[in-house]
Amino acid sequence: MNFTTILKDHLKRYPLMQAQDGYKLIHQAACGPAHAVTHREAAREWLKNELETLSDPWPEALIDPISPDGDLVRVHLAPFKAEGGDPEPLLDAFIRTSQEVIPDFQLLEEYLHTSLPFVPGLEELMSTLKPQGYPALHHSDAYRTAYRPAYRVVLKKYLLSHPEADN
């Protein structure tokens, strides 16, 4: 699988995806979740609050690969909660992933350039974000309203106890 395949799949599943949502996917695939972890207790509270306040989520698979090698995945919280998932191992996977994945800005630029033909507005967004060092972004308002994203980006190897992680 290559990144273009992943991107096209996301564009098909999320037709209201905007340039910043495409960028967020690209950023996560190349840089992991390190930007999202300030410290363990903050990450625990964020996860706890998100799990408690999930409302009418977009139907998702539990595990969604976001890197071509399949190593980085999004674990969607609605199916995680529905299956009675234990938040502590997910938190551990999230923290370990944030410590292990080293942001690869060369790979980020490669993914960005290969994504340009598929994501309207991405080139303009890149020109704004490059001088800022390609920071992480939130999902667009349109994406949040339509799909109510709630997930954690983790390395799949930390989920091997879950059957879907073996797929």
Let me know: does 159 contact 165? Beta carbons within 8 Å. Answer: yes
Q: How confident is the model at residue 53, as a pLDDT?
A: 92
Q: Convert the pLDDT of each residue in 10-58 to its tens digit.
A: 999 999 999 999 999 999 999 999 767 778 899 999 999 999 999 777 7
| 111 Cβ contact partners less than 8 Å away, ≥ 6 residues apart | 3, 26, 29, 30
Is pLDDT above 80 for 59?
yes
Is pLDDT above 90 for 1?
no
Spatial distance between the Cα atoms of 121 and 22, rounded to a whole number of angstroms: 10
What is the value of pTM for the model shown? Answer: 0.91
Query: How open is the CA angle 103-78-28, to the nearest 5 degrees?
Result: 10
Is pLDDT above 50 for 71?
yes
Q: Convert the pLDDT of each residue in 120-147 to its tens digit.
A: 999 999 999 999 999 999 999 999 999 9
Spatial distance between the Cα atoms of 153 and 167, rounded to a whole number of angstroms: 17
Q: Compute the Cα dihedral for 29, 63, 138, 15 and give only its sign.
A: positive
> Residue 155: which H helix or E strand, with range?
strand 151-155
Q: How confident is the model at residue 39, as a pLDDT?
A: 87
Give 165's pLDDT tier (boundaries 50, 70, 90): very low
Let me know: does 116 contact 122? Beta carbons within 8 Å. Answer: yes
